[in-house]
A and B are shown apart, each in its own frame.
Chain A
Amino acid sequence: MTDRLTRTAATRLLAERLTREVVVANLGQATFDLQHLADRPLNCYTYGSMGQCSSIGLGIALARPDVRVICLDGDGSLLMNLGSLCTIAAEAPRNYALVVWDNEVHQTTGGQPTATGDRASLAAIALGAGIAKSVEVRTEDDLRTAYDRILGEDGPQVVCVKIAPGRSEGQLDRDILGHVRRFRSALATLPVSSRSV
């Protein structure tokens, strides 16, 4: 599978289309790539609380229905908080999308296999939780189509992106408090849009 998508390429494809969306990034690789490829005040990085990325994004989406919220989760982390999919389905925020970088391993801790490399399908689990717009994508063309939908259509949506394993290189900026203050301030000063997202 030499032509498997990479997280870096998939992150870059999304980043070049962002305008006033909030992006919540999972601890580890998702935060790392977003910080390096597209650092911006409306990015909400996480550094701990494994599993909570999708829930943090849900809280933001419910509080700011005028802003589209995109979560970048990982397969290992979402597997730790599968109940979140049921809550997302029940609350059904139109401005919410969950993108899962699914490389079938716990990348940050050394590449130990997760259940998605065996039999589990996160897109199918999301569908079963009640999120009708749940897809799995493996190619760049399908990923572009999925991004069109999460940026242009009502949520909630789940996009499980099958990517190649691999760590990002370099140094992560762990100014946690600085990033929290910057994000909260950027969202507070983002004008409330009357336009439905």
Chain B
Amino acid sequence: MGMGDPSWSKHVADVLRRNGIRVFATVPDYIVTQVLEHLWADPECRVVTVTREEEGVGLLSGAWLAGQRGALLMQNSGLGNSINALASLNVASQIPIVLVVSHRGDLGEFNPAQVPMGQATGALLDALGIRYIRPGAIAELETQGDGLIKLAYMRSLPVAIVLPAELTGGKQG
């Protein structure tokens, strides 16, 4: 893919922070690390690196039960690792969480192993009724991000911000 505007990552971090999210869990990849750089540098934010994304789902669900809003930053491969916890914990118990998912395996992908999960990402979120946005540009993120997060906590269910290569510049092979 072509070059994204490099300020996209700060816009993502700011959408999360201005909606009261202060605790983050992650299994980092090349793309979400660009968002993490802003969060690691912010003394008001706690970032916990977990070993598997599903662990982050549990941890952030616990944080919400204790009154804190949380976001999980991961690659879409990690969405696959999180599916059962999202279904049987967050959807079943109505525990909100914001997923920030870098979208590998779509336009411009160089690694064939990424493609099946990349093509299934939207369908997996739809299957669990997880409302998501997939902003192709910063303006779209700014228009939709606040509303998405407000919906998550009003409805008390997970939501996802999927980050396509059109926004982030992707990863070059």
Contact = CB atoms under 8 A, between A and B. Distances in A.
Given A56-B59, A84-B51, A47 B92 contact: yes
Nearest to A176: B93
A187 interface: yes
Contacts of B88: 47-50
A58 interface: yes
B173 interface: no
B57 A62 contact: no
What interface size band does chain A fall in?
35 or more
A63 interface: yes
Interface of B: 23, 46, 48-52, 54-68, 70, 84-85, 87-89, 92-95
B51 A86 contact: yes
Contacts of B23: 59, 62-63
A81 B84 CA distance: 13
Interface in A56-113: 56-64, 81, 83-84, 86-87, 90-91
Tell me if B's interface is mostly helix, strand, loop or mixed: helix
A180 B93 contact: yes
Contact of A60 (B55, B62, B85, B95): B62
Contacts of A187: 65-67
B89 A59 contact: no
A172 to B, nearest CB: 15
A49 B89 CA distance: 6
Most B CB contacts (10 A, CB to CB) among A44, A49, A84, A87 go to A49
A87 B51 contact: yes
